[in-house]
Chain A
Amino acid sequence: MKNRLKVLRADRDWTQADLADRLQVTRQTINAIEKGKYDPSLPLAFKIAVLFGLPIEEVFSPNTD
C-alpha cells in the first residue's frame, strides 16, 4: 500500500515524533509506514486521515504493480 504520509507531514512542518504523539503510536511506526515497510491497521489509517482532514483514499492508495 502506498501513502502520502511523508508529504502531508512535511506540509504541516511536523516531525515524525510530532505525528507519532498526535496518533499515540511510536515514532518507529510512523517511519515504517512512511517507508512502506508496514501497513497500518484500518483504525489507525482512519485516524491518520481524520488528523489530516482528508478522505482515507487521499492518504492511502493500493499498490497497482
Chain B
Amino acid sequence: MINIRTETSLQAGLKKSTFQLFLATGAWVSSTALMSFGPSALWGFDTAVTFLAIAVNTIAGGFMLYSFFKHLKNMDELQRQTHLEAMALTLGITMVLTVIYGALPQAKVLASTQPANVLFVIGISYILSVITLWLRRTNA
C-alpha cells in the first residue's frame, strides 16, 4: 500500500508564515542597510531622505514583528512553548551579559562598547536555547 501523506493545515500555515517572515526579515535587513549606508553613499546626508529611510525601516520592523507573531501563532503548542521559553532564557542571558559588558569600560578592561554586540548575544542565545529546549523534549 502506498501511503501518500498530504500536507496538513498546520504544515501549510507554518510554510506560509515562514515565507512571510522571510520576506519581512529581508525587507527589514535591506531597509536597515539603506538607513545606515544611504546617507553617505546615496543621498549625501539629506536629512529629509534620511527621515524617510528611518520611517521605512520602522514600518519594515513593525511588519517583521507582526510576521513573527503570526508565525508563533501558527506553530503547534510544543513548538510555541519551546520558542517562548527560549525567549525568556534569552531575555535573562542578555540582561546579565549586557550588565557585565557595560561595566567593562568602567573597569578599564575594554576601551568602549558596541551596542550592536548585544544583538549577537540575543541571536546566539535564542538559537542555542531553541535547539537545546527542543532536543531535550523531543529526543528519545
Contacts and interface: CB of A to CB of B under 8 A. Distances in A.
B108 interface: no
Nearest to B11: A26
Contacts of A25: 10, 76-78
Given A17-B5, A37-B136, A24 B78 contact: no
A37 B133 CA distance: 11
A32 B77 CA distance: 12
B9 A24 contact: yes
A28 B111 CA distance: 48
Instruction: Give the secondary structure class of B's interface.
Output: helix
A26 B10 CA distance: 8
Contacts of B8: 21, 24
Nearest to B76: A25
Contacts of B10: 24-26
B1 to A, nearest CB: 13
B36 interface: no
A14 B114 CA distance: 54
A21 B137 CA distance: 19
B79 interface: yes
B78 A38 contact: yes
Interface of B: 5, 8-10, 76-79, 81, 134, 136-138, 140
29 contacts: A21-B5, A21-B8, A24-B8, A24-B9, A24-B10, A24-B76, A25-B10, A25-B76, A25-B77, A25-B78, A26-B10, A26-B78, A28-B78, A28-B134, A28-B137, A28-B138, A29-B77, A29-B78, A29-B79, A31-B138, A32-B78, A32-B138, A35-B140, A37-B136, A37-B137, A37-B138, A38-B78, A38-B81, A41-B77
Interface of A: 17, 21, 24-26, 28-29, 31-32, 35, 37-38, 40-41, 44
